[in-house]
């Protein structure tokens, strides 16, 4: 199926890892030109090298999405190199440390809110003027199943993702008239570096709750993101409703009951040394790689 992506310019935040990285592969296969943004310069350089080796036109920018000026520089870079921005995929995010709200402190929440919620707002704000001027654009935000039915131990993470769903809906209504659609994808638990704390034992128990009998893979999610391009880019039809907007939240056959069971399993295994060691490692990787772009 032709997604009409050949030559399109696609910015992917969090593009060095996990879902963002897999999405870069999918868009590149469709002929898009990419600008990857991430906090981890080394992982970013590897991703760019791999994509270029596969024949892609790829640029990158070390960006901390918490910093609005850096997000503006990212968009300016894409425009400077490729003269336009057709698609923004907001995949940069963190999972944080699961904990009961009563055990958490406000100082634990800052990065979750600043990256998962403010970071998405920053990138959307930085890109919309350009898309409005083009009268065309696609914004695709990585929300989460957790943003639709929050649960114990992930209250703050879920709140950030609920915020992403809400901002997606609001932006879609505001921007539809300019030929810009805004969508969110809501994955369930997906194996990526973010979920590297999941032990084999934990995965076996968790996977039983999934209709497919396994956790999600990036290859399940990335095609959903590319599929958000199916509405051809361009000006809205002359007879389009004034508030034309496309908001589509993709479920992975998961509901509130599932989430409740999932967080019980999380709690059961949470205190295992192995799971904590893996999570500490993945959090440290992120912290140590903060860059000043």
Ligand X SMILES: NC(=O)c1ccc[n+]([C@@H]2O[C@H](COP(=O)([O-])OP(=O)(O)OC[C@H]3O[C@@H](n4cnc5c(N)ncnc54)[C@H](O)[C@@H]3O)[C@@H](O)[C@H]2O)c1
Give the per-residue contact string, 248-287, with ligand X (x = CB under 6 A; - = no): --------------------------------------x-
Shortest Å distance, C-beta 14 to ligand X: 3
20 vs 236 by CB, closer to ligand X: 20
Known catalytic membership, residue 157: yes
Give the per-residue contact string, 30-69, with ligand X (x = CB under 6 A; - = no): --------xxx--x-------------------xxxx---
**169: phi then psi, degrees, rounded to nearest 5:** -65, -45
Residues 212-231 that bind ligand X (CB under 6 A): none
Task: Identify which of 30, 17, 22 has the alpha carbon closest to the alpha carbon of residue 233.
Answer: 30
Q: Which of 28, 168, 183, 195 binds ligand X (CB under 6 A)?
A: 195
168 vs 195 by CB, closer to ligand X: 195
Residues 111-140 that bind ligand X (CB under 6 A): 115, 119
Shortest Å distance, C-beta 54 to ligand X: 19
158 vs 179 by CB, closer to ligand X: 158
Shortest Å distance, C-beta 219 to ligand X: 12
132 vs 285 by CB, closer to ligand X: 285
- Summarize as ranges the residues that interact with ligand X (CB under 6 A): 13-14, 16-20, 38-40, 43, 63-66, 91-94, 115, 119, 142, 144, 187, 189-190, 192-195, 286
Active site members: 157
């Amino acid at each position: 199926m032709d997604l009409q992506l050949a030559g399109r310019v696609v910015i992917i935040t969090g593009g060095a890892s996990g879902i963002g990285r897999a999405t870069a592969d999918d868009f590149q296969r469709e002929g898009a030109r990419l600008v990857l943004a991430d906090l981890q310069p080394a992982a970013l350089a590897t991703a760019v090298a791999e994509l270029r080796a596969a024949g892609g036109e790829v640029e990158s920018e070390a960006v901390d999405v918490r910093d609005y000026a850096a997000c503006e520089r990212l968009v300016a870079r894409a425009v400077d190199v490729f003269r336009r921005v057709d698609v923004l995929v907001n995949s940069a995010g963190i999972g944080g440390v699961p904990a009961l709200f009563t055990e958490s402190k406000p100082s634990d929440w800052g990065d979750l809110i600043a990256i998962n919620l403010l970071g998405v707002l920053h990138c959307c704000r930085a890109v919309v003027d350009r898309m409005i001027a083009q009268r065309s654009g696609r914004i695709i935000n990585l929300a989460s199943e957790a943003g639709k039915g929050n649960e114990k131990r992930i209250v703050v993470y879920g709140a950030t993702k609920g915020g992403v769903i809400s901002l997606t809906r609001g932006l879609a209504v505001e921007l539809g008239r300019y030929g810009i659609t805004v969508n969110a994808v809501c994955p369930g638990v997906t194996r990526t570096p973010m979920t590297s704390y999941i032990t084999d034992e934990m995965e076996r128990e968790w996977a039983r709750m999934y209709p497919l009998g396994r956790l999600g893979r990036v290859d399940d999610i990335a095609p959903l993101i590319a599929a958000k391009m199916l509405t051809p880019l361009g000006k809205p039809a002359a007879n389009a409703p004034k508030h034309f907007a496309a908001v589509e939240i993709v479920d992975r056959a998961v509901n509130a009951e599932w989430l409740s069971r999932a967080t019980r399993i999380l709690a059961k295994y949470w205190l295992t040394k192995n799971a904590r060691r893996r999570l500490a490692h993945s959090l440290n990787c992120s912290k140590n790689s903060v860059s000043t772009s």
